[in-house]
Amino acid sequence: MKYVDEFRNPGLAKGLVKKVAELPRRNVRVMMGGGMIAHAAAEAGLEDMLHKEVTLILGPGCPRCVTPASAIDNAIAISEFPKTIVTIHGGMTMIPGSSKSLEAKKAEGGDIRAVYSCTEALNIAIKNPEKNVIFVAVGYETTSPTVASTIIEAQRKGVENFYITRGHIIFTSIFRALLEGGEARFNGLLMPGPVSTIIGSKAYDFIPEKYKLPCVITGLETCDILQSIYMLLKQMEEDKPRVEIQYSRCVNEEGNLAAKKILNEVFEVCDSPLRGFGVVPKSGLKLRKKYEQFDAEKVYNVQLEETKESKGCICGEVIRGVMTSSDCPFFGKACTPRRPIGPCMVDPHGACSLNYRSSSVRGLLRRFT
């Protein structure tokens, strides 16, 4: 496969692993700032290849994992209204709310449909004019511009039965909250290429400037990640923290200006709750006044009871990188991919699910149980 195989070249990968091993750093903790990086690293089995002194830790960044239980509770409550179709990205349906997931609600008879894109949800609305169609908007700037353009399209077509929930998150806001909190210990950050393609590398300037941490924007193929780890360690060695772009075939300083413009046209920044962090100032997006006819909150007056996270589940701490999966008493025992308790185990890109499938962690598990 052209443009993929080149970046998974075994010889190149082994060479990069060797170069990383030759760097003098000891006990380096690299935070992978996105579920996609962690997933790609796990798929390639990188953990077993890297020098023992380099530890990859899973940070926040999986959009499904940081979406709070209240967002799911809200969607479930909306689905109980008559003549209502709730649409959501497929991967979100299994994420637990306070008492159940949308998948469980669907099994009880709720009209909940997994869609591939917001456009698909709009098409469902156009085909079902007698019903209200709600799109549960989640994710970062990787998905929010497409939602913004769908809203413009809905307005242009005069669609009156289509709404979205407030769930989009500003990617960098999580890392501001994480670094502000000061709990997590790591020496450098790998940031995911896809979202950086939209927001641009400048969005991360606060990381080296304010927190003196090196930051590399990485592609998601094996050799991309290995090269990025090398670049990060090199920055540490030089003690000159900065934002570097490894994924230069797609990312630039400014990002995708057209996408940013459309985002700004449709949405404005608001405070928003994040799983593991509580309400984070300026972390979310809501529709501007001009487009508020599409805001589900304006139509559905849902009063949620207090949201509950599973008792004893440490997903919040795992998301913040303060604890790891194996610190959790449930991990691999009461909580497995087959019977998940928290979102980090439900989602295939979540920290616990990835750790469960990682051979070295499982090895540890076996030794201690």
Partner 1 sequence: MHELIENLIVPPFKNPILEVLDDAAVIDLGGTKIAYTTDSYVVDPIFFKGGDIGKLAVNGTVNDIAMCGGTPLYLTASLIIEEGFPISDLNRIILSMKNAAEEAGVEVVAGDTKVVNAHSADKIFINTSGIGVVPKEVSISGLNAKPRDKVVVSGYIGDHGISIMSQREDLGFETNVSSDCAPLNDLVAHMLKTSNKIHVLRDPTRGGVATVLNEIALRSKVGIIIEEEKIPIREGVRVACEILGIDPLYVANEGKLVAVVAPEDAPQILECMRKHKYGGNAEVIGSVVKEPASTVILNTSVGGKRIIDMLVGEQLPRIC
Contact footprint for partner 1 (CB under 8 A) = 1, 4, 8, 10, 13-14, 17, 34-36, 42-49, 62-64, 89-92, 94, 114-116, 120, 138-140, 142-143, 194-195, 222, 337-338, 349, 356-359, 362, 366
Q: Which is nearer to partner 1, 153 or 337 (CB)?
A: 337
Alpha carbon distance 328, 318 (integer Å): 9
Q: Shortest gap between Cβ of 289 and partner 1 (angstroms)?
A: 28
Contacts with 99 (C-beta within 8 Å, 6 or more apart), sequence order: 73, 308
**Cα dihedral sign for 270, 272, 278, 280?**
negative
Phi, psi values for residue 54, rounded to 5°: -105, 115
Q: Fill in the amino acid letter for 344.
A: C
Q: Shortest gap between Cβ of 338 and partner 1 (angstroms)?
A: 5
Going by their DSSP bridges, the two strands 215-218 and 243-245 should be labelled as parallel
Alpha carbon distance 140, 297 (integer Å): 20
Instruction: Choose among 251, 175, 235, 232: nearest CA to 207.
Output: 175
Q: Shortest gap between Cβ of 279 and partner 1 (angstroms)?
A: 22
- Compute the residue count for the chain: 369
Q: Which is nearer to partner 1, 1 or 24 (CB)?
A: 1
**246 with 218: CB under 8 angstroms?**
yes
Q: Which is nearer to partner 1, 296 or 354 (CB)?
A: 354
Q: Shortest gap between Cβ of 39 and partner 1 (angstroms)?
A: 9
Q: Shortest gap between Cβ of 116 and partner 1 (angstroms)?
A: 6
Q: Which is nearer to partner 1, 43 or 183 (CB)?
A: 43
Q: Which is nearer to partner 1, 289 or 338 (CB)?
A: 338
